[in-house]
């Protein structure tokens, strides 16, 4: 099987970008080892601190964040980085060519129950602007996006703008090996993923859309749908990439100060790029995610992504509203 390093070389990926992508993969290898050892490594449980999001940090959140920061700081190509767990951007090398945004451990609530978690990365070109302003680029500017999913097997999905490829970690060699060269999301689906407990807080358009899915073959859609929900975006998006489906965390009124859940820079943008490069679609319900102009590194947005035809059907409800 082709290793990640061989893949990057043979695909002609920018030689300056290759070491960075391999460094991101190595972060995944090291975090995978910690996740696999769990309580034996003393990484389970919560800390007594909150991150900038106001969320209680898990021990592994902090450990993964520090591990990634340390490894990226050693990469000459990294100019600065932005993390879910950091209040502000972190500078690395003044002459670096890239900016890296990341969610060190997506799905933290799953850690202590031994369920799916993952790491998400977004890579942008560096600019002359300083600090947070340098990161204020739309998702279409991304030069790479990837996630590492820690499940029964540790897998890495990667795009550099020419399709989405899947790699699996060989535990014997510690290398990621190519297992699927060009992932393709089926245009149609009968699976959807949404946190149904928030149903009463959704906009009318999403209320109507989900109600019609639940009506099954007796409703206007004329077919039965299954609901899947992992409570980790990385796990739900991985399922969509592997077999199709639609994943959404829509606008809601549960907390009027925070109508959106997912972060644009290090969750929505990289996942949207991976999905679009596999033939899917990604929208807020009203705009293509990758064209949004960021206003802050921790900005939140609504997300609807997955199988092209089903996303279009969902957006139809929003346009009618």
- Give burial (CB, 10 Å; 0-12/13-18/19+) of 259: middle
* Sign, Cα dihedral of 62, 21, 127, 295: negative
**Both 47 and 140 in a single domain?**
yes
- Classify burial at 319, counting beta carbons within 10 Å of its beta carbon; exposed 0-12, middle 13-18, buried 19 or more: exposed
Last residue of a domain, one of 180, 199, 216: 180
**195 with 160, same domain?**
no
pLDDT (0 to 100) of residue 54: 63
Tell me the two tokens of residue 307: 């199988």
pLDDT tens per residue across span 129-185? 999 999 999 999 999 999 999 999 999 999 999 999 999 999 999 999 999 999 999
Give me the domain span that covers residue 113: 4-180
> Do 203 and 165 reside in the same domain of the chain?
no
Distances in Å between the Cα of 104 and the Cα atoms of 6, 66, 110, 183, 285 are 26, 9, 14, 24, 27
315 near 252, Cβ under 8 Å?
no
172-186 burial, b if ≥16 CB within 10 A, otherwise e? eeebbbbebeebebb
pLDDT for residue 68 is more than 90 = yes
User: Beta strands 78-83 and 98-106: pairing type?
Assistant: parallel
Per the annotation, where are the binding residues?
Answer: 84, 103, 105-109, 195, 261, 267
Radius of gyration over alpha carbons of the chain, in Å? 19
* Helix H or strand E encompassing 314: helix 308-320
Average pLDDT of 292-313? 98
Tell me the per-residue pLDDT of 225-284, one tens digit each, with 9 for 90 and over: 999 999 999 999 999 999 999 999 999 999 999 999 999 999 999 999 999 999 999 999
pLDDT exceeds 90 at position 51 = no
So what's the pLDDT on residue 48? Answer: 54
309 and 275 belong to one structural domain: yes
Query: Where residue 58 falls among pLDDT bands split at 50, 70, 90?
Result: confident
Residue that is last in its domain, among 180, 209, 243: 180
pTM of the predicted structure, to 2 decimals: 0.95
| pLDDT, position 3 | 98
| 165 and 204 assigned to the same domain | no
- Which residues line the annotated binding site for substrate? 106-109, 195, 261
Which pLDDT belongs to residue 53? 65
Determine whether 187 is exposed, middle or buried from the number of CB atoms within 10 Å of its CB (0-12, 13-18, 19+). middle
**Residues of the binding site for Mg(2+):** 84, 103, 105-106, 267
35 falls within a domain: yes
Give the Cβ contact number of residue 253 at 10 Å: 11
Angle subtended at Cα 22 by Cα 17 and Cα 24, rounded to the nearest 5 degrees? 95
Q: Does residue 144 sit in the same domain as residue 200?
A: no
Q: What is the mean pLDDT of the chain?
A: 94
CB of 280 within 8 A of CB of 243? no
The pLDDT, as a whole number, for residue 39 is: 75
* Tokens linked to 110: 């799953």
Report the pLDDT value the prediction gives residue 111, as an integer from 0 to 100.
Answer: 83
Domain annotation covers residue 56: yes
In a domain, 154, yes or no: yes
Residue 129: CATH number of its domain: 3.30.540.10
Contact call for residues 107 and 119 (beta carbons, < 8 A) = no
**Confidence class for position 45, pLDDT limits 50, 70, 90:** confident
Pairing of β 98-106 and β 117-125: antiparallel
Q: How many separate domains does the chain show? A: 2
159 and 24 fall within a common domain? yes
pLDDT digits (tens, 9 = 90+) for 112-125: 888 899 999 999 99
DSSP letters, 85-100, are T-SS-EE--TT-SEEE
The residue among 68, 76, 121 whose CA lies nearest residue 94 is 76
Q: Is residue 291 part of a domain?
A: yes
Residues 213 and 68 in one domain: no
Higher-confidence residue of 71 and 112: namely: 71
pLDDT at 83: 97
Do 197 and 64 lie in one domain? The reply is no
At residue 294, the pLDDT reads 98
């Amino acid at each position: 099987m082709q290793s990640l390093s061989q893949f990057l070389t043979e695909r002609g990926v920018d030689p300056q970008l290759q070491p960075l992508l391999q460094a991101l993969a190595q972060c995944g290898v090291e975090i995978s080892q910690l996740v696999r050892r769990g309580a034996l490594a003393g990484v389970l449980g919560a800390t007594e601190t909150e991150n900038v999001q106001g969320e209680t940090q898990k021990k592994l959140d902090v450990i993964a964040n520090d591990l990634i920061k340390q490894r990226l700081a050693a990469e000459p190509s990294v100019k600065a980085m932005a993390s879910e767990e950091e209040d502000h951007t972190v500078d690395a090398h003044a002459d670096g060519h890239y900016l890296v945004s990341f969610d060190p451990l997506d799905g933290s609530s799953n850690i202590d129950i031994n369920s799916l978690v993952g790491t998400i990365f977004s890579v942008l070109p560096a600019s002359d602007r300083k600090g947070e302003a340098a990161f204020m680029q739309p998702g279409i500017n991304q030069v790479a996006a990837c996630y590492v999913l820690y499940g029964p097997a540790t897998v890495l999905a990667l795009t550099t703008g020419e399709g989405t490829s899947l790699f699996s970690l060989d535990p014997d060699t510690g290398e990621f090996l190519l297992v699927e060269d060009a992932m393709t999301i089926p245009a149609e689906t009968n699976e959807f993923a949404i946190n149904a407990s928030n149903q009463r807080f959704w906009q009318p358009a999403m209320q109507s859309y989900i109600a019609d899915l639940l009506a099954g073959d007796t409703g206007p859609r004329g077919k039965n749908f299954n609901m899947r929900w992992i409570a980790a975006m990385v796990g739900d998006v991985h399922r969509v990439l592997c077999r199709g489906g639609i994943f959404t965390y829509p606008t809601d009124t549960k907390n009027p100060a925070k109508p959106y859940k997912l972060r644009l820079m290090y969750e929505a943008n990289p996942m949207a790029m991976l999905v679009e490069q596999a033939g899917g679609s990604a929208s807020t319900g009203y705009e293509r995610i990758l064209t949004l102009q960021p206003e802050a590194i921790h900005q939140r947005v609504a997300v609807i992504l997955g199988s092209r035809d089903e996303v279009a059907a969902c957006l139809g409800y929003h346009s009618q509203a």
